[in-house]
Structure 1
Amino acid sequence: MKEFLRLDNKLNLELKIKPLSPLCIKLSKEEKEGEESKSSTYSTILVTEQGETKANNTGELELDTRKGEIYIPGSTLKGLFRDRFTTMYKDNSFVKNLFGYTEGNSEDEKARKSRIFLQDAFFFENEKRKNFYDIDKIKDSNKNEAIKEFVNSRSITPIDHFSSKAVAPLKFEYTTEDFRTEIFLNNMSDFKELQGIYFIIRDSINGEIRIGNSKTRGFGQIEFEVSDLRYSVFHGKEENFKKFEQFFEIDEEKSTKIADKYLEKVMKLKTEYKKVDIKDPNEFIKALFSEVK
């Protein structure tokens, strides 16, 4: 575990997640058993406080009693990123070194901690997040008032391709709100990892990234945008970053300084270099890809 006794550099990347199609929060399937109506549900985007789904006396599914904040689990996003990295890079050792691994089931078991961490994604606008913590709404007898504000529902009756008959109705709960996540990446060796992240951003702009349930029914298409990118340069490790300095500015508030020397100099990407245009890439992206082998 020697590689975790040192920290040569640290990247903090904030991404905005823009739904290009609805994001499925819950899929409910109604099944008839005699005179009773039974529902089975599948959650893909979660809420912080779970309730239960109920069917009314007509057999139609109602919005459930969940009342927590809507979020996309970081594990869902990390799985997406790992799959894309595995597809892009045939070097399995590189992917394992980045995302970590555990091998074996005996005393010879080997393990490596992940160097990349993806946070749970919550609503991009903090004002909308406050609705889930409004005291008046929490005390209200209708506990899921906040979630109703951002969730819509749609019902469809699929047709079986073989029999051409209608199958069990499906009810979708979905949102079209923007989300925000953060990526933390430690000890980049040659900026190859950041290049891979930008490849994923490019793929999302090309409409190739989907998350959640019912992707084949048009749900879950997303696009990533760079909201903020910060790179921590530690004392004695400045040389590797010099070729990118022109695209960044110092964040004095987050930096650590003793006298006139920086122990940790936090550099933030200038606003004009945040936009990713795959047809006309900015100078920072050109420099990043020219330096990565």
Structure 2
Amino acid sequence: MREFLRLDNKLILKLKIKPLSPLLIKLGNKEKDSEDKDGNYIGFLTTESSTGTKLEYNGGSEKISEDNRKGEIYIPGSSLRGAFRDRTLDIFDNNEDELEKLYGVSEGEKALKTRIFIGDAFLYKVDDRKRFYSDSDKISESLKDILKSRSITPIDHFSGKATVPLKFEYTTENFLSEITVNNISLKELKTLYFILRDSINGELRIGNSKTRGFGQIELEIEEMVYYKYFGKKELVKDMNKYFERVEKKSIKIGDKYLCEVLKLKENFNKIDVENPNEFIKALFAEVE
């Protein structure tokens, strides 16, 4: 397997996931709850008591000394990765070689490590997450506030008769995920923006029961951080117009930055498909 020989840059993108239609948690029938183990469903995090683990809540500095989560809902990173990979392949005009350079491949001599890592997405609101670290007898109460349910009675298309009623458990809460891309190219950064645009246009779905209207999501940039290493070319000219330096995380020797950490200015986070901001204009004006 070919290894990374150097790190030219790194992009960390925090995304807010906003359901435009319900996200399916579990599907069963009223007579017997039969949870489907299909990995396409939004999942339940059921790990308990990882003593000594420290976890930082999204966007904050508050930490806990023990990980005692039980029943916390989340979107698996694998589901998000699948959706991103499918959209990327479309944008790359079904060029598998280009796709594998980013997402990797695990076949014999052709094996290549992935450069894109998509984390599990957890509830966006810090207070909602905290509730899953409370006593176990409060977990069900927390879930009642976050989960909703509804039932339908499907019709068998062959017999025309009603079948066993289905009960859907779903959520419409916002989530937060983090994407890391090592050695991102200009084309790959543009591709991420195309995917964000597609989500705004209602073209991105995750999970199961899409044909029943579930799983449509819109993505928003919560934060974009770019790690620029000494002597490497910038992806966009005059990056200081669009990014601000994070001094605490940057590494400097003398008057040279070995690693300059740049954060996209907040006013460039929002994506307006009809009226793109100046950073997006500059990004797409660059020649690959």
Report TM bin, short chain: 0.7 to 0.9
Report the alpha carbon displacement of residue 238 of structure 1 after superposing the two structures with TM: 4.7
Aligned residue identity for 1:99: Y
The reply to whether residue 192 of structure 1 matches residue 191 of structure 2 is no
Does 2:45 correspond to 1:48?
A: yes
How many angstroms does 1:88 deviate by? 1.4
| CA displacement at 1:93 relative to structure 2 | 1.0
The answer to whether 1:161 aligns with 2:153 is no
Instruction: Report how far residue 13 of structure 1 moved.
Output: 0.5
TM, length-normalised to structure 1: 0.84
Deviations 1:185-224 (A, max 9, x none): 01123x1111111111111111111111211111111100
Residue from 176, 194, 199 that aligns with 1:180: 176
For residue 63 of structure 1, what is the aligned residue in structure 2? none
Aligned twin of 1:93: 97
Q: For residue 128 of structure 1, what is the aligned residue in structure 2?
A: 128
Gaps of 5+ in 2: 48-68
Q: What residue identity is the alignment partner of 2:29?
A: K
Q: For residue 144 of structure 1, report the CA deviation from its aligned partner.
A: 2.4
Matched, 1:82 2:85: yes
Choose from 53, 68, 73 the match for 1:70: 73
1:250 and 2:253 aligned? no
Return the alpha-carbon distance in structure 1 between the equivalents of residues 33 and 121 of structure 2: 28
* AA aligned opposite 1:88: I
CA deviation after TM superposition for structure 1 residue 143, in Å: 4.6
Shift of 1:45: 0.9
Q: CA deviation at 1:41?
A: 1.8
Q: Is the 8 A contact 1:13 1:184 kept in 2?
A: yes
Bigger Cα Rg: 1
Secondary structure in 1 aligned to 2:222?
A: strand
The answer as to 2:151 corresponding to 1:147 is no
Cα offset, 1:92, TM superposition: 1.7
Q: Does 1:114 align with 2:83?
A: no
- Name the TM-score, length of structure 2 as normaliser: 0.86
- Native 8 Å contact 1:72 1:122 kept in 2: yes
Change (3 A) 1:101 1:67: same
Answer with 215-224 or 235-244: which moved more. Answer: 235-244
**Distance of aligned partners of 1:213 and 1:239 in 2 relative to their CA distance in 1, 3 Å threshold:** closer
Indicate the SS of the match to 1:25: strand
Letter in 1 for 2:74: Y
Match of 2:214 in 1: 219
CA deviations over 1:78-107 (Å, ceiling 9, x no partner): 111111111111222110110000224xxx
Q: What fraction of aligned residue pairs are identical, expressed as a percent?
A: 58
Relative to structure 1, is the Cα distance of residues 262 and 241 closer, same or farther in structure 2, using a 3 angstrom cutoff?
A: farther
Structure-2 change in CA distance of 1:272 and 1:233 (3 Å):
same
Equivalent residues, number:
264
Determine the C-alpha separation between the residues in 1 that align with 2:2 and 2:237: 26
Residue 234 (structure 1) aligned with residue 244 (structure 2): no
Contact 2:220 2:270 (C-alpha < 8 Å) held by counterparts: yes
Taking a change above 3 Å as real, the CA distance of residues 248 and 88 of structure 1, as seen in their structure-2 partners, is same
The whole-number CA distance in structure 2 between the counterparts of 1:155 and 1:180 is: 28
SS at match of 1:202: helix
Contact in 1 for aligned 2:206/2:216 (Cα 8 Å): yes
Q: 2: distance between equivalents of 1:254 and 1:6? A: 20
How big is the alpha-carbon RMSD for the aligned residues of Structure 1 and Structure 2? 2.0
**SS of match in other structure, 2:262:** strand
For 1:79 and 1:10, the matched residues in 2 are separated by 21
- Aligned CA distance change for structure 1 residues 128 and 38 (closer, same or farther; 3 Å): closer
Matched to 2:103, the amino acid is: F
User: Which amino acid is the alignment partner of residue 41 of structure 1?
Assistant: E
**Gap change, CA 1:126 and 1:292, over 3 Å in 2:** farther
Q: Measure, in 1, the Cα distance between the counterparts of 2:198 and 2:36.
A: 27
